[in-house]
A and B are shown apart, each in its own frame.
Chain A
């Protein structure tokens, strides 16, 4: 995780602060009218133009909104998008019983092979993701996957009909984080407790792989499974960022016809995916907690003002910090939720910034960085101009 240099207790209004206005008011033709010398004299503008050339206007927009608090680190702390025109060409071969291809989103390239399985009751899938460089800065990328299984009429199906367990992971859509009952992390191909790759895939500095064999074999009739698979930056400057998703799956309809879904790649996780992750973390806290595990903490932080933690907020997370310092197997999940009404990209960046501020505070208290996971997800229930920051301990 990069260092942050936030001025203590300084509040900066992200929507009205003068530097941002100044940058926003500069025409993109500034370089042409004022000349290269003017650009050279203005490092901020040079940075802006370089970012525009490399990552496009959306990245510039985000940069402007986040200045000036992180002005020296913006390129390190936020993933950047690669413009469509400069991405590798997609190569896709989709047939009825096999879907193979390479397809890129704004952050990297998915390579996939999904085939109907031998029993015609599921599929076999291998998926790899390679992040774009230099846009993505990471030292470990893993995968979080969400699944919705269905039965007749499209109704949600829980594995082994275990409603008592799975209903508590389901935010109401049927989509849930794809992890086993005994697991205490949401990662599909990585075990957080032992910090090792699992038999279902690999993690790497700039890429990650997974394989799966989803199937519903023990009942007949209409059924299927839909997956949303997201590379997630577990460590590195872009820690906490989702690098888009690939969606895939299979169905058997009421007449018995088997269909593989056409895989699609996307730049963002769905709100359902985020809601499922929030439920997963809360539920795993409940299942794994001991008599001394601190209760989850909820902080209300702004997304339109960049500020450090207040004294009250620091006090609120002290018990969490003390506990995790004393328990090597405990993990802290910081999930900053935002409603996106002020702009999805901007609020995502600001909410994640809040989460990272808290993460940095906890690291400063002596918690290992690898024991803290941070991310941000969209949630319509959060009040405007705020991020609801959940701080949850899971005993792994």
Chain B
């Protein structure tokens, strides 16, 4: 995204424009694409001179968790490699961590940009949260997910699902779309997947 000449928005101006859209982050209509961001917000973001810098600035000031997640989604829609820097930094914020994990995982999948990225760096950033049992209530769907499940799913997607045999224990709609769909991991799969992830991380 880049600003059109003469049509530029400041970060504050962009944020005001975004807030004119009621509930811009909502449901996608596919299990593999469970979130959708309203086009008016995406269009307004195109008018930012430096979108990643604007999102970072706005994240530092915004307190509402719903709107903070919108900033993460916007960053993840960017092909700018700095988007990964922002998402990795967000892992340090407990409020942003679940969404940042999800968005680190989906990069390069259907509908998400392919960013130039060091996969090893992304995996090392995700790995510490694989066994995090903190519950997260999804701001769109209202469902509760373990942060660790979001980390497991993202790790598997980035490393490559074929490396993790325990995915075969899941229904195909969960296994095929691991890291894309909202994870629903039964305890047995959770444990097996964690073991495989730790083994894989240890080998690297």
Contacts and interface: CB of A to CB of B under 8 A. Distances in A.
A98 to B, nearest CB: 13
B63 interface: no
A213 B140 contact: no
A93 B199 CA distance: 43
Interface stretch (B82-90, B126-134, B147-155, B174-182): B174-182
A179 to B, nearest CB: 8
Given A162-B38, A217-B27, A218-B140, A211 B172 contact: yes
Nearest to B39: A165
A217 B112 CA distance: 22
A216 B39 contact: no
Contacts of A215: 29-31
A191 interface: yes
B42 interface: yes
Interface in A157-196: 159-162, 164-165, 180-183, 191, 194
Interface in B102-125: 109-114
Contacts of B40: 164
B31 A213 contact: yes
B26 interface: yes
Contacts of A247: none
Contacts of B181: 213
A200 B36 contact: no
Given A159-B29, A161-B26, A200-B110, A181 B42 contact: yes
B28 interface: yes
B141 A218 contact: yes
A87 to B, nearest CB: 28
B31 A160 contact: no
**Size category, B interface:** 20 to 34
B77 interface: yes
A-side interface size class: 20 to 34
Interface string B153-172: 00000000000000000011
A117 B29 contact: no
A191 B176 contact: no
A126 B180 contact: no
Contact of B31 (A122, A182, A191): A122
Interface in A206-225: 211-218, 225
A160 B172 contact: no
B31 A162 contact: no
Nearest to B142: A218
Given A165-B39, A199-B109, A212 B77 contact: no
B173 A216 contact: no
B183 to A, nearest CB: 13
A183 B42 CA distance: 14
B111 A180 contact: yes
Contact of A216 (B29, B33, B114, B171): B29
Contacts of B66: none
B109 A198 contact: yes
Contacts of A200: 32, 110
A180 B110 contact: yes
B32 A194 contact: no
A120 to B, nearest CB: 14
A213 B176 CA distance: 11
A183 B173 CA distance: 22
**Chain B CB within 10 Å — which of A147, A182, A198 has the most?**
A182
B110 A191 contact: yes
Contacts of B180: 199
16 contacts: A117-B31, A122-B31, A124-B171, A124-B172, A126-B172, A149-B29, A160-B24, A180-B111, A181-B42, A194-B114, A211-B176, A212-B31, A213-B31, A213-B181, A216-B29, A218-B26
Given A118-B184, A212-B32, A225-B29, 12 more contacts: A117-B173, A124-B31, A159-B27, A160-B26, A161-B26, A162-B38, A182-B77, A199-B176, A211-B173, A213-B173, A216-B29, A218-B26
Interface of A: 117-118, 122, 124, 126, 147, 149, 159-162, 164-165, 180-183, 191, 194, 198-200, 211-218, 225
Q: Lowest 5 A-B CB distances belong to which pairs?
A: A213-B31, A160-B26, A180-B111, A165-B39, A160-B36
Interface of B: 24, 26-33, 36-40, 42, 77, 109-114, 140-142, 171-173, 176-177, 180-181, 184
